[in-house]
């Protein structure tokens, strides 16, 4: 019997994951806005978030969370981190017992500093929690380009079953029991992508960008390991893979924010013209707090935070990184 899938979130990535799953299983996407759900059902498009793409005709949509999850054998939550707990709480009265819940969100809960699977465990106790993550740019996947993702989940038997739900054509899905590493890699890469984007906006050289991305990988790896993640996760899809895609692609929302900052624009006007969330804007504060909690130096995250929240300029941020004393490559900083 085919598993039934409920995807919560009608943005670009939620819709794309719904489209992938619909090739293997009956799938319904919840969209907060009724007109988005109606468009998916009627025209098989989502022009607000995925202009120019045609969605599978068997992908259904609804603006009712109850309808999306009441019959689901797996629930996928693709809303931004700031609305994640509220979404879980809305799901609670309608989800059947023991149904696995996967997060698509690459962020941290403000204040509590919890990862999204930890929020699931609090708000939906008894439901196996995992994350679908990796270097996944929605429009490239819908265009048919080869891509790979990873399901981070402690329950390997469930993760193996879910592989068959999401893999499709040139989209490969791996599994990884290191949930902490998978989630920390996804959250921190957004902050590093803002830093890389600032460099692009200022016109720095490729050498400089390569250094920022590489030191960013070292930075997120140190924090991830300090929190209990496995070192090898950060050289895989959820670490280096996701970091490279987010730092180098013009499709990346976080890189876009950094690039516009690097060109001298104000954060408020950049965010106002975007129809989706750049998680790194809020995550940079949480990342620094996590670094302090675990005694891990986060120099790149700190410079991004100063630009985003304290009025520093991208040029000052890059000068700050250059002023950091160079030590052994294996040491922080």
Residues 125 and 195 placed together within one structural domain of the fold? no
196 and 172 share a domain?
no
18 and 155 housed in the same domain: yes
- Give the bridge partners for 6, in sequence order: 28, 75
Which pLDDT belongs to residue 168? 87
- Give 184-194 pLDDT, tens digit per residue: 999 999 999 99
Are 217 and 160 contacting, i.e. CB atoms less than 8 angstroms apart? no
User: Is the domain of 192 the same as that of 113?
Assistant: no
Q: Is 230 a catalytic residue?
A: no
State yes or no: pLDDT of 331 exceeds 70: no
Residues 35 and 146 in one domain: yes
Measured distance CA(222)–CA(130) in Å, rounded: 22
The answer to the question of residue 157 being in a domain is: yes
| Contact between residue 240 and residue 217 where contact means Cβ atoms under 8 Å apart | yes
pLDDT on residue 321:
75
E-strand spans in the chain?
A: 5-8, 27-30, 60-62, 74-77, 101-103, 129-133, 147-153, 171-176
Exposed, middle or buried: residue 286 (CB in 10 Å: 0-12, 13-18, 19+)? buried
Predicted local confidence at residue 325, as pLDDT? 52
Establish if 193 belongs to a structural domain.
yes
Q: How many domains does the chain have?
A: 2
Residue 331 lies in a domain: no
Give the count of beta carbons closer than 10 Å to the beta carbon of residue 99.
20
Same domain, 147 and 265: no
Q: List residues bridging with 173 in a β-sheet.
A: 149
Domain shared by 133 and 195, yes or no: no
Region of residue 128 (left: phi > 0; alpha: psi -120 to 50; beta: else)? beta
Among 216, 196, 219, CA closest to 291: 219
If asked whether residues 162 and 242 sit together in one domain, one would say no
What Rg do the C-alpha atoms of the chain give, in angstroms? 19
Domain ranges, residue 208: 188-323
Residue 183 lies in a domain: no
pTM, whole model, 2 decimals? 0.93
Classify residue 182: in a domain, yes or no: no
Mean pLDDT of the chain: 94
Distance CA 189, CA 242 (A): 7
Q: Do 253 and 113 have their domain in common? A: no
Residues 215 and 262 in one domain: yes
Here the CATH number for the domain that contains residue 140 is 3.40.50.720
Token pair 């299983």 is found at 25
Cβ proximity of 283 and 191 under 8 Å: yes
pLDDT in tens, 192-231: 999 999 999 999 999 999 999 999 999 999 999 999 999 9
Last residue of a domain, one of 177, 199, 225: 177
CATH code at 260?
Answer: 1.10.1040.10
- The residue from 189, 230, 263, 266 that is catalytic is 189
């Amino acid at each position: 019997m085919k598993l039934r899938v409920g995807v919560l979130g009608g943005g670009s990535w939620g819709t794309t994951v719904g489209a992938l799953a619909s090739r293997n299983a009956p799938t319904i996407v919840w969209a907060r806005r009724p007109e988005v759900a109606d468009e998916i059902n009627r025209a098989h498009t989502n022009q607000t978030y995925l202009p120019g793409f045609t969605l599978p005709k068997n992908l259904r949509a609804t603006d009712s969370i109850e309808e999306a999850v009441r019959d689901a054998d797996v629930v996928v939550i693709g809303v931004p981190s700031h609305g994640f707990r509220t979404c879980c709480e809305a799901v609670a009265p309608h989800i059947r017992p023991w149904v696995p819940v996967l997060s698509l969100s690459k962020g941290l809960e403000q204040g509590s500093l919890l990862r999204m699977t930890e929020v699931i465990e609090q708000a939906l106790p008894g439901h196996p929690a995992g994350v679908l993550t990796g270097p996944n740019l929605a429009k490239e996947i819908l265009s048919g380009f080869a891509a790979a993702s990873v399901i981070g989940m402690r329950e390997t038997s469930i993760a193996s079953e879910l592989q068959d739900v999401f893999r499709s054509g040139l989209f490969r899905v791996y599994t990884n029991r290191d949930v902490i590493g998978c989630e920390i890699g996804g959250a921190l890469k957004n902050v590093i992508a803002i830093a890389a984007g600032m460099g692009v906006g200022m016109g720095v050289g490729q050498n400089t960008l390569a250094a920022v991305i590489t030191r960013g990988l070292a930075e997120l790896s140190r924090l991830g390991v300090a929190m209990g993640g496995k070192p090898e996760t950060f050289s895989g899809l959820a670490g280096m893979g996701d970091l490279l895609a987010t730092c180098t692609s013009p499709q990346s929302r976080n890189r876009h924010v950094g690039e516009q900052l690097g060109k001298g624009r104000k954060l408020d006007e950049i965010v106002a013209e975007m129809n989706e969330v750049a998680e790194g804007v809020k995550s940079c504060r949480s990342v620094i707090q996590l670094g302090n909690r675990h005694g891990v130096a986060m120099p790149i995250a700190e410079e991004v935070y100063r630009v985003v929240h304290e009025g520093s300029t991208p040029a000052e941020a890059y000068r700050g990184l250059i002023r950091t004393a160079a030590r052994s490559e294996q040491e922080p900083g």
